[in-house]
Amino acid sequence: MLDQDNSWEAVQKRDKSRDGSFFYGVVTTGVYCRPSCPSRRPLRKNVRFYASAGDAERDGLRPCLRCRPLVAPGPDPTAELIREVCRYIEKRSDEPLKLEDLATQAGMSPSHFQRTFKGIVGLSPKQYVDAARLRKLKKGLKQSGDVTQAVYEAGYGSSSRVYERTDTQLGMTPNQYRRGGRNVTITYATIETPLGLIMIGATDRGLCFLQFGDTRTGLLRMLEKEYPAAILLAMSKPYHPDFQKWAQALNDHLAGTHPHLDLPLDIRATAFQIRVWNYLQSIPYGEVQSYAEVAAGVGNPNAARAVARACAANRVALVIPCHRVIRGTGELGGYRWGLARKRALIDQERSHRLAIN
């Protein structure tokens, strides 16, 4: 028989030395984990302990995707192998990189490599290559006075290819990006929410600005500071049907009746920011994780501070839920729209999730 108190203490401490000696299941999420699982600690009343993975599965639980309890304890050689491929991509982003070549680098079949890479990194190999190449292009555009030169040095075969590939990622053409967003048109409007005013700014491809504020004037100044060279147009009434849907989705989300907020985005980001922001969108409604847990989740356990910077760089509140990331001590940490709003968002999500369950 397992010692319940000792097992719970190991879970609280995330004791790696106990990995393999038992598993714990969380009845509210339907998963079972190893003691060192980096996921947010569950409530004791929702935890069950098992001597084997088979016992947990016979109880109707499935293995956790974070800690992968069926994998032997210790360093994960597959994760390290994928990290090596990421480093390989970063160094050679200006070269043609095919899936087959990257799979060979990892010693896997293309299909297995594709699944494994996305499962660990959070992006497909193609998305990661594109993001690394885009980051190099952005750097080149800022340093070079010649757009064509920056395009070719970043690894794009032609100027037409770079416009096709980067239009939705940059949110603007390379020339516009180099000039600070000049000639990009952003329409905006402000709506009332239970947590104060929110200004929505959008290009013709999606949301590029979604921020809380205390006054319309203050929010407009924030938008102008974010896109100093863009053409800003107040949205005329009656609002476009798409905007009405977005506004309704936001209010429903804050009211707890629309937990999953999926709106089109048109934002600029580095490869690392994309990984972090994609991961944040996978954190379940009503749950929080520490900066260190997010860093481990994106495959870079030592990057907690970089994760914090990626959260601070978020310009699209709620859709990219950076409010679900707190310090490992349990303190809220930072939030660009105020700690009171962060606490309110976390408390509201938790209460609505309990009501749903």
Shared domain check, 159 and 80: yes
If asked whether residues 163 and 191 sit together in one domain, one would say no
* Whether pTM exceeds 0.85: no
Q: pLDDT by residue for the chain (357 residues), tens digit each?
A: 788 999 999 999 888 888 889 999 998 888 899 998 888 888 899 899 999 888 888 888 888 877 878 776 655 677 778 888 888 888 887 777 889 999 998 899 998 888 888 766 667 888 788 777 776 665 655 555 554 454 445 444 444 444 444 444 444 455 555 555 566 889 999 988 888 899 999 887 788 899 999 999 999 999 998 888 888 999 888 887 888 888 888 888 888 777 778 788 887 777 788 888 888 888 888 888 999 889 888 878 888 999 999 999 998 999 999 999 998 888 888 899 999 999 999 988 887 766 554
Q: Is 33 a catalytic residue?
A: yes
Instruction: Give the residues across from 177 on adjacent strands.
Output: none
Catalytic residue among 37, 208, 311, 322: 322
Identify which of 216, 188, 300, 319 has the alpha carbon closest to the alpha carbon of residue 258: 319
Matching residue, tokens 């193609």: 126
What single-letter amino acid sits at 245?
A: K
Q: What is the CATH number of the domain that holds 13?
A: 3.40.10.10
- CA 289, distance to chain mean position in Å, is 12
Among 33, 37, 64, 67, the active-site one is 33
Query: 165 lies in which domain range?
Result: 76-178
Q: Is residue 266 part of a domain?
A: no
Q: Look at residues 275, 312, 316 and name the one whose alpha carbon lies nearest to residue 294.
A: 275
Q: Does residue 89 sit in the same domain as residue 27?
A: no
Do residues 47 and 81 share a domain? Answer: no
Give the count of beta carbons closer than 10 Å to the beta carbon of residue 353: 16
Decide which of 148, 178, 208 is a domain's last residue. 178
Same domain for 169 and 193? no
Residue finishing a domain among 32, 63, 94: 63
Chain-centroid distance of CA 119 in Å reads: 14
Residue 170 lies in a domain: yes
- Listed in sequence order, the residues at least 6 apart from 255 whose beta carbon sits closer than 8 Å to its beta carbon are 194
* CA-wise closest residue to 276 among 259, 293, 256: 293
What the block records as the tokens of 317 is: 């509140």
Q: pLDDT at position 145, please?
A: 52
Residue 254 domain-assigned?
no
**Does 258 fall in a domain?**
no
Q: How many domains does the chain have?
A: 4
C-alpha–C-alpha distance, residues 136 and 94, integer Å: 8
Residues 84 and 152 occupy one common structural domain: yes
Check if the beta carbon of residue 159 is closer than 8 Å to that of residue 176. Answer: no
Q: Is residue 333 part of a domain?
A: yes
- Residues 165, 81 within the same domain: yes
Q: Are residues 140 and 102 in the same domain?
A: yes
69 domain residue, yes or no: no
Instruction: Identify the CATH number of the domain in which residue 227 sits.
Output: 3.30.160.70
In a domain, 14, yes or no: yes
User: Coil, strand, or helix at residue 305?
Assistant: helix
Residue 86 known to be catalytic: no
Q: Tell me which DSSP letter residue 313 carries.
A: T
d(CA 255, CA 35): 35
| Whole-number pLDDT of residue 35 | 92
Q: Are residues 111 and 48 in the same domain?
A: no
Same domain, 81 and 34: no
Q: Which amino acid is at 137?
A: L
CATH of the domain at 151: 1.10.10.60
Q: Is residue 265 one of the residues assigned to a domain?
A: no
Q: What is the CATH number of the domain that holds 280?
A: 1.10.10.10
Count other Cβ atoms within 10 Å, centred on residue 194.
9
Residue with tokens 């980051």: 135
Cα-only R_g, the chain = 23
The set of residues, in sequence order, having a beta carbon less than 8 Å from that of 137 and lying 6+ positions away, is 150, 151, 154, 156, 162, 166, 174
Answer yes or no: do 93 and 151 share one domain: yes
Q: Is the peptide bond before 238 cis (omega within 30 degrees of 0)?
A: yes
Residues 80 and 171 in one domain: yes
CB 26 within 8 A of CB 32: yes
